[in-house]
Amino acid sequence: MSPPPPVPPEFRAAIDDALELLKDRPAPTAPVTTGQPLPSLLEQCRDTLARGRAQQPPVRLLHHMACTGGTLISRCLAALPNVRLLSEVDPLSTLGQEGRFAPTDMLRLARLASRPVDRETEIELFHAALSVILRDSTARGLDLVLRDHAHSQFCHGPAVEDRPGLYALVAEAQPVCAALTVRHPVDSYLALQASGWMHFTPATIEEYARRYLAFLDAHATLEPLHYEAFVAAPETGLATLCDRLGLRFDPGALDRFDGVILSGDSGRTGATIAARPRRPVSEALVRACAQSPSYAALCDRLGYVADPLLPPL
């Protein structure tokens, strides 16, 4: 193999000049550090998503136990201008689903399919439906309110169901404003008996109060509004709920609520909002209340008079 040809002198001179220029060039400046790591692309995407959600209109949620005056209060809210209220919502409830014919209920049909969907898919179906109804409500200038059906989770079956409730499910996907209303447990317990809605066992005041406390624990961040205070001063009560739910208050709703028909009405009718006398209290119930630690704790927590023979507040 022959040796490589010699480098011409003018090329060698050009190379030497280039090397000299490189020697005179200063070293690259070290990157400026702030002491804090730059946010990752994933974190920036999450921040952008959070800002987008914050700009979305909230879903308003109304929580209460059965037979606590929730239908009356919901009718008043539904009578407000530009409110769209969906009554008795609990996406994961299995109460009242004994039949198999449900041509308009996609979630129920998916449960009854030849290969039923799992819990995660049920939640996805709910989120998809909620997104559609919220988008339509917003486009029409309506405020969407969902009335919870807490009875399904807390007062149905041998134990409180260990699953997400309405607040947790909605808050996963949408901004939320929520309100909580309560009633003296003796009155709601007696109303459940009269309506034939004692869906829990044992059907004692102790068991009912224990479940009521679990319901309050699940909504511990919400300040309760007493039903008794609402019927004593409806305009003040409705204004309080509007403030908590971010709705425009209109006292005229109290003149229109009787025209609103909702599910879950346990007996109250008419256009007059006023306190009703307590149903008769048996001696056995008086004794049971006196011996129930959960009932005593519940009354104390909600600020009610525990003696069932005395006024509630």
Classify residue 102: in a domain, yes or no: yes
pTM of the model: 0.81
> CB of 76 within 8 A of CB of 234?
yes
User: What is the rounded CA–CA span in Å between residue 208 and residue 79?
Assistant: 32
User: Which amino acid does the sequence have at 21?
Assistant: L
- pLDDT at residue 297 greater than cutoff 80: yes
User: What is the rounded CA–CA span in Å between residue 136 and residue 57?
Assistant: 12
Adjacent-strand bridge partners of 224? 180
Q: Which of the pair, 202 or 45, is modelled with greater confidence?
A: 202
What does the pLDDT read at residue 10?
59
Q: Which of the pair, 77 or 10, is modelled with greater confidence?
A: 77
Whether the bond into 202 is cis, omega within 30 of 0:
yes
Classify residue 289: in a domain, yes or no: no
Looking only at the bridges linking them, the beta strands covering 224-226 and 143-148 are unpaired
Q: Which of the pair, 169 or 100, is modelled with greater confidence?
A: 169
Classify residue 9: in a domain, yes or no: no
Domain ranges, residue 147: 55-184+219-270
Query: What are the backbone dihedrals phi and psi of residue 271, each rounded to the nearest 5 degrees, phi first?
Result: -100, 5
Q: Which of the pair, 158 or 16, is modelled with greater confidence?
A: 158
Q: Which helix (H) or strand (E) holds 89?
A: strand 83-89
Rg of the chain's alpha carbons, rounded to an integer? 31
> CB of 276 within 8 A of CB of 268?
yes
- pLDDT at residue 3 greater than cutoff 60: no
- pLDDT at residue 1 greater than cutoff 60: no
User: What is the rounded CA–CA span in Å between residue 66 and residue 311?
Assistant: 21
Q: What is the mean pLDDT of residues 87-93?
A: 96
What does the pLDDT read at residue 96?
77
Q: Which of the pair, 31 or 84, is modelled with greater confidence?
A: 84
What does the pLDDT read at residue 271?
77
Classify residue 76: in a domain, yes or no: yes
User: What is the rounded CA–CA span in Å between residue 27 and residue 31?
Assistant: 12
Classify residue 300: in a domain, yes or no: no
What does the pLDDT read at residue 303?
98
What does the pLDDT read at residue 37?
60
Token code pair at residue 229: 């205070």
Number of domains in the chain: 1
User: What is the rounded CA–CA span in Å between residue 187 and residue 278?
Assistant: 6
- pLDDT at residue 135 greater than cutoff 70: yes
Q: How confident is the model at residue 29 (pLDDT cuts 50, 70, 90)?
A: low
User: What is the rounded CA–CA span in Å between residue 200 and residue 89?
Assistant: 20
> CB of 50 within 8 A of CB of 127?
no
- pLDDT at residue 234 greater than cutoff 90: yes
What does the pLDDT read at residue 18?
66
pLDDT per residue over 44-64, tens digit each?
Answer: 766 655 665 557 899 999 999
> CB of 70 within 8 A of CB of 181?
yes
Average pLDDT, the chain: 89
User: What is the rounded CA–CA span in Å between residue 62 and residue 85?
Assistant: 10
Identify the CATH number of the domain in which residue 162 sits: 3.40.50.300
Classify residue 47: in a domain, yes or no: no
Kindly provide the b/e burial profile for residues 271-287, where b requires at least 16 CB atoms within 10 angstroms of the residue's own CB. Answer: eebeeeebeebeeebee
What does the pLDDT read at residue 9?
57
Classify residue 312: in a domain, yes or no: no
- pLDDT at residue 82 greater than cutoff 70: yes
Q: Which of the pair, 290 or 7, is modelled with greater confidence?
A: 290
Q: Tell me the CA distances in angstroms from 96 to 26, 47, 102, 187, 201, one per residue in order.
A: 80, 41, 12, 24, 17
User: What is the rounded CA–CA span in Å between residue 183 and residue 192?
Assistant: 13
CB atoms within 10 A of CB 252: 11
Q: Which of the pair, 96 or 115, is modelled with greater confidence?
A: 115
Adjacent-strand bridge partners of 176? 59
Classify residue 298: in a domain, yes or no: no
Q: What is the mean pLDDT of residues 130-156?
A: 97
The percent of residues above 90 in pLDDT, for the chain, comes to: 75
User: What is the rounded CA–CA span in Å between residue 283 and residue 289?
Assistant: 10
Q: What is the mean pLDDT of residues 162-168?
A: 97
User: What is the rounded CA–CA span in Å between residue 194 and residue 6?
Assistant: 112
Q: Which helix (H) or strand (E) holds 203?
A: none
Q: What is the mean pLDDT of residues 58-74?
A: 97
